[in-house]
Structures are given as C-alpha cells and as structure tokens.
Amino acid sequence: MKRLFVLLLMLVVLPLCLRAQEPQVGLVSLRGPINPVSASFLKENLAAAGKRGDRLVLVELDTPGGLDTAMREAVQAIFAAPVPVAVYVAPAGARAASAGAVIGLSADILAMAPGTNIGAAHPVGLGGKPDPVMESKVVNDAEAYVAGIAAKRGRNVELARRMVRESISLTAEDALKQRVTDLVAPSRHELLSSLEGRRVQRGGKEVVLHL
C-alpha cells in the first residue's frame, strides 16, 4: 500500500515538475496613452517575468504617445529587464507614435504587424506659448536620447533622429527596410515562431531564444 501511494505521488509530481520547466513567454499589453500607471505596470511585469524565469516578455503596443517622464521610466525598465523584451506593434491598425516609438526602439526586438506605423516622436508641449530657446533645448535633448537608444540597439540612428526632428512616421514595411524594426509578423504565433533560435545581447552576453 505504501509503495502504491509513493508511485501515485510520483505520477502527480512528475508532470508538475516537467510543466514548471517548460519555456514561458510573458505577455504585457500596453494600449492607450503612456502614463505613470502604464510605465509602472510594465516595470512590475518585467520584474515578475524575471522571478518566474520567463524566456521572453512580449509587449504588445498600441499607443498615440504620452508623457516624457513615463516614457523614460518604461525605457529604463526595458533596459534593466532581467529577461529579453520584444515589443510588438499590433494588431493591424495599431501605432507606436511619439513616446511609443521610443519605447519600441528600446526593445531587444522590435516587431510590427502589417498595417501599423511607428514614429512622429517630436516633443509636444502641454500648453502656453512656446519659448523658442526652451523648445530647441527640448527637441535637441529628445533627439539625442532617441539616437542613443537606436545606437544601443543597432537600429537606424539617422531615421530615429528624423522621427524627432521631422516627426516622420513609417509603415511596418518601410520600417523593416530602413532598419528601424526587426520583423514584420501578421500574428503573435508567427512572431514567436520567427524568434525561435534568435540571438540577442543582454548585459554583454549573447542569449539564444528558445521559446
């Protein structure tokens, strides 16, 4: 009877152990304006993914932009994330505009669904008559910030600058041609399939994605 109990216990525990070792992909959805709440939400989910041992966090993004401070908090969270981060501008009709474009550029992997766009990252004031000197300082700061992010991720620095300076926006297909985005994928499933075996740099080390 005792041996039968031990055997039954092993049959229960073994599948649980195997399931715990399966690769996991964390999913975070950011929809709407980027604000302190969404930035905090992203930061908390990235930390939780590290504790779970996720292989990747997939951030599905659709935003018109948002606050500069919240955007920078989100970018810092992605850079400091304990696991690789992929930003996926989706579904069709979605956009990564303004602050969203910068968040996308900061990801280890930036993917877009067909029918989406990215860019228009020129800083926007919150009202009042703009001071030309201050406006120039803000634009120059934003341009340097975005250029640094693009350079860190090996993306098209000049186009990143133009997103800020000229407010240009790119379709998914143009972004792929211009080395702004890494992949164009019509669905989450196809994106994850394309990422299998992909190599990314994390903390000076190369990580191979096994999803």
pLDDT 10s digits, 77-86:
999 999 999 9
Write down the residue that tokens 């049959």 correspond to: 11
| Orientation of helix 68-79 relative to helix 132-152, angle to 10° | 20
Please give the distance of CA 28 from its chain centroid, rounded to a whole number. Answer: 9
pLDDT digits (tens, 9 = 90+) for 130-186: 677 778 888 999 999 999 999 999 999 999 999 999 999 999 999 999 999 999 999
66, 121, 90, 159: CA torsion to nearest 10: -160
What is the distance between the alpha carbons of residues 178 and 176, in angstroms, rounded to a whole number? 5
Please tell me the predicted confidence (pLDDT) of residue 204: 80
Q: What is the pTM of this model?
A: 0.87
Q: Which letter, b or e, does each residue of 160-192 get, where b requires 16 or more Cβ atoms within 10 Å of its Cβ?
A: bbbbbeeebbbbbebbbeeebbbbbbeebeebb
Q: What's the pLDDT band for 211 if we cut at 50, 70, 90? A: confident
pLDDT digits (tens, 9 = 90+) for 48-62: 999 999 999 999 999
Helix/strand/coil for 57:
strand
What is the distance between the alpha carbons of residues 71 and 65, in angstroms, rounded to a whole number? 8
Task: Check pLDDT > 60 for residue 4.
Answer: no
Task: Check pLDDT > 50 for residue 207.
Answer: yes
Please tell me the predicted confidence (pLDDT) of residue 76: 98
Please tell me the predicted confidence (pLDDT) of residue 173: 98
What is the residue type of 80? A
Please tell me the predicted confidence (pLDDT) of residue 202: 83
Q: What's the pLDDT band for 10 if we cut at 50, 70, 90? A: very low
Query: Are the C-beta atoms of 185 and 113 separated by less than 8 Å?
Result: yes
Query: Are the C-beta atoms of 69 and 35 separated by less than 8 Å?
Result: no
Which residues lie closer than 8 Å to 207 by C-beta, 6 or more apart?
A: 84, 199, 200, 201
Among 79, 49, 52, residue whose Cα is nearest residue 201: 79
Percent with pLDDT over 90 in the chain = 77
Task: Check pLDDT > 60 for residue 66.
Answer: yes
Please tell me the predicted confidence (pLDDT) of residue 9: 35
